[in-house]
């Protein structure tokens, strides 16, 4: 019997799942590793940590499932998008990888926009120049570390470095390549025009595949180390969001996902290329061949709630320990004590700047509207409301683009809490559902591996075979009406504070 491995190279750790040929998950293992901030607003990781975690989790998943490694028939790769891994002519890593949440490249974003032209860039890459994307990172290295840039012979995305270590192949796939700013998203190939305009040699970029297509095969040396067959096919896979969308069944028109992890992502399937002329949301190639997706990102969604737990939730952590429950359960329980709208208290979730809809690395988090009446419960609820308003920003832009929204599937930490699910339904003004699986990107790429190795006919069939609706949370009409009045105030606060955010950033450098 053939088994499928789905590997998700995340920011906090690598998760590997092992499925049977029907998509049933038999084992799931995660190995964590550090993230480094050598300067304010910088974020880096060591690619060797990803590879070590990949090897450990593959071996552990096979052992945990109690199957024979020799029966593994296909591998799919997912991972954090936008990161830049620079290799020299000997295929050695030249420096730490600069990650998606690194904000050092504001000057390079201006350089790209001025060189290519703002409108032309959106026409070609379907996205504006943002600090998180890969192209600004490449230019930053060229501008600030020229000796390293001169030695660079290949640029890989995080999951594609793991692919190289598994197979020896320099390859990527269309969904992850879409987040480099060097990709012609409409035509699903590297953009000669953008590469030429930025004087980036096209040979630095890997070959690009559709997501379910086999992109390489496991080498004999790696196979021996991991106990899996030499020549095991590795499919293109997907960037974390496209892969998670496959894992959530977002592969047909009208089905939307709202995922609340460290970041928050609203993801919509599209049969055609649809772009926002203002560049407020992203348009990328989907992991479904010949399809696209539109995506909005809140950089510090669950990350804001985690910040609250870690810095202001000591009492709740102690209470959770005493009750044997998750601290987030206690925090949500307290949030429910505050009224809808938190009595005029608002939270702006811009702890690490913001992407959608403001694309502003200088944006700062804030509570606004505090009075002597407010208590901790109000602050917790306001935090959750602010995060969810941020998600609604993306949803409203996507609606305005004419993308159909028939069903919203919620996942991540925000779906684990009944309170937060209800909050989402009421703020979105739409019922929300959960599904029967929660493995996200790792499951998505395992299903892509199943398509690439013939276990499924296509991506849609794979999702239909594995994914079903597990629960439905109905919108409360009265509460939704209240939030409909509160939401415009939230949106106006950023506009009022935008210049102040820039002034604060200038003060702190």
Predicted confidence (pLDDT) per residue in 235-283, tens digit: 999 999 899 999 999 999 999 999 998 889 999 999 999 999 888 999 9
Q: For residue 239, how many C-alpha atoms fall within 13 Å in the half-sphere facing its CB?
A: 27
CATH code matching the domain that covers 3-248+440-470, chosen among 3.50.50.60, 3.40.190.10, 3.40.109.10, 3.30.420.40: 3.30.420.40
User: Which sequence spans correspond to the domains of the chain?
Assistant: 3-248+440-470, 302-435+474-504
CA distances from 337 to 91, 330, 478 (A): 56, 11, 18
pLDDT at 21: 86
Q: Under CATH, what is the fold of the domain 302-435+474-504?
A: Nucleotidyltransferase; domain 5 (3.30.420)
Q: What is the pLDDT of residues 101-141, one digit of tens each?
A: 898 999 999 999 999 999 999 999 999 999 989 999 999 99
DSSP per-residue string spanning 10-62? -SSEEEEEEE-TT--EEEEEEEE---B-SSTT--EE-HHHHHHHHHHHHHHHH
pLDDT at 350: 97
Query: Cα(380)–Cα(335) distance, rounded to whole angstroms?
Result: 5
* Best CA proximity match to 456, nearest among 445, 465, 467: 465
Q: For residue 498, how many C-alpha atoms fall within 13 Å in the half-sphere facing its CB?
A: 10
pLDDT at 277: 87
CA distances from 381 to 335, 364, 378 (A): 4, 19, 5
Q: CATH topology of 3-248+440-470 equal to that of 302-435+474-504?
A: yes
Q: What percent of the chain has pLDDT over 90?
A: 91
DSSP per-residue string spanning 187-228? TTEE-HHHHHHTT--GGGSPEEE-TTSEEEE--HHHHHHHTS
> With contact defined as beta carbons under 8 Å apart, do 206 and 161 qualify?
no
Mean of pLDDT values over 308-313: 96
Q: Which residues are catalytic?
A: 240
Q: For residue 238, how many C-alpha atoms fall within 13 Å in the half-sphere facing its CB?
A: 31
Query: Cα(176)–Cα(79) distance, rounded to whole angstroms?
Result: 9
| Residue 509, pLDDT above cutoff 80 | no
Pairing mode, strands 25-32 and 44-45: unpaired
Query: Helices H, strands E: what count in the chain?
Result: 19, 24
- Residue 283 burial (C-beta neighbours within 10 Å; 0-12, 13-18, 19+): buried
Query: Cα(73)–Cα(166) distance, rounded to whole angstroms?
Result: 14
Q: For residue 241, how many C-alpha atoms fall within 13 Å in the half-sphere facing its CB?
A: 34
Query: Cα(149)–Cα(479) distance, rounded to whole angstroms?
Result: 55
> With contact defined as beta carbons under 8 Å apart, do 7 and 77 qualify?
yes
Mean of pLDDT values over 316-339: 96
pLDDT at 438: 82
| Local structure of 364: helix, strand or coil | coil
Of the two residues 28 and 261, the one the predictor is more confident about is 28
Mean pLDDT of the chain: 96
pLDDT at 413: 86
Mean of pLDDT values over 25-46: 94
**Before 357, cis peptide (omega within 30)?**
yes
pLDDT at 183: 98
With b meaning 16 or more CB within 10 Å and e meaning fewer, what string describes 174-188?
Answer: bbbbbbbbbbbbbeb
| Residue 1, pLDDT above cutoff 80 | no
Mean of pLDDT values over 144-163: 98
Query: Cα(231)–Cα(73) distance, rounded to whole angstroms?
Result: 9
């Amino acid at each position: 019997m053939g088994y499928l491995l789905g590997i998700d190279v995340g920011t906090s750790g690598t998760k590997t799942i092992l499925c049977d040929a029907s998509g049933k998950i038999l084992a799931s293992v995660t190995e964590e590793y550090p993230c480094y901030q050598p300067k304010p607003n910088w974020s880096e990781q060591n690619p060797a940590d990803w590879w070590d975690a990949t090897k450990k989790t593959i071996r552990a998943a096979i052992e945990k499932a109690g199957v024979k490694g020799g029966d593994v028939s296909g591998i799919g790769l997912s991972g954090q998008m936008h990161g830049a891994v620079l290799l020299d002519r000997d295929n050695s890593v030249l420096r730490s990888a600069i990650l998606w949440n690194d904000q050092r490249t504001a000057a390079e974003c201006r350089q790209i926009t001025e060189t290519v032209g703002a409108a032309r860039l959106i026409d070609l890459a379907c996205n504006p120049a943002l600090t998180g994307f890969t192209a600004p990172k490449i230019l930053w290295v060229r501008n600030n570390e020229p000796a390293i840039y001169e030695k660079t012979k290949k640029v890989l995305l995080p999951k594609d470095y793991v692919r190289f270590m598994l197979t020896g192949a320099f390859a990527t796939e269309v969904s992850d390549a879409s987040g480099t700013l060097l990709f012609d998203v409409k035509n699903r190939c590297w953009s000669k025009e953008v590469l030429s305009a930025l004087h980036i040699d096209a040979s630095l970029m890997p070959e690009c595949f559709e997501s379910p297509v086999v992109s390489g095969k496991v080498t004999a040396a790696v196979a021996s180390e991991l106990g899996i067959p030499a020549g095991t096919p590795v499919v293109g896979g997907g960037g974390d969001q496209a892969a998670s969308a496959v894992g959530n069944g977002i592969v047909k028109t009208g089905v939307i996902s709202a995922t609340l992890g460290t970041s928050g992502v609203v993801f919509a399937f599209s049969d055609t290329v649809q772009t926002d002329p203002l560049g407020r949301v992203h348009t990328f190639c989907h992991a479904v061949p010949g399809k696209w997706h539109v995506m909005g990102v809140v950089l510090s969604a669950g990350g804001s709630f985690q910040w609250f737990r870690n810095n202001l939730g000591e009492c709740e952590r102690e209470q959770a320990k005493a009750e044997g429950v998750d601290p987030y359960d206690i925090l949500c329980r307290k949030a429910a004590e505050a009224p809808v709208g938190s009595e005029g208290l608002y939270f702006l979730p811009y702890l690490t700047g913001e992407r959608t809809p403001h694309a502003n690395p200088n944006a700062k988090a804030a509570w606004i509207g505090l009075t002597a009446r407010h208590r901790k419960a109000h602050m917790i609820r306001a935090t959750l409301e602010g995060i969810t308003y941020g998600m609604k920003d993306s949803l409203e832009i996507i609606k305005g683009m004419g993308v159909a929204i028939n069903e919203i599937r919620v996942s991540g930490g925000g779906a684990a809490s009944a309170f937060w699910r209800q909050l989402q339904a009421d703020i979105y003004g739409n019922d929300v559902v959960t599904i029967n699986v929660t493995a996200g990107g790792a499951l998505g790429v395992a299903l892509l591996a199943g398509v690439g190795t013939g276990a499924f006919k296509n991506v849609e069939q794979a999702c239909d075979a594995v994914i079903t609706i597990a629960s439905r949370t109905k919108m409360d009409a009265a509460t939704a009406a209240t939030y409909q009045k509160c939401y415009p105030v939230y949106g106006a606060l950023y506009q009022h504070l935008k210049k102040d955010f820039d002034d604060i950033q200038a003060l702190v450098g």
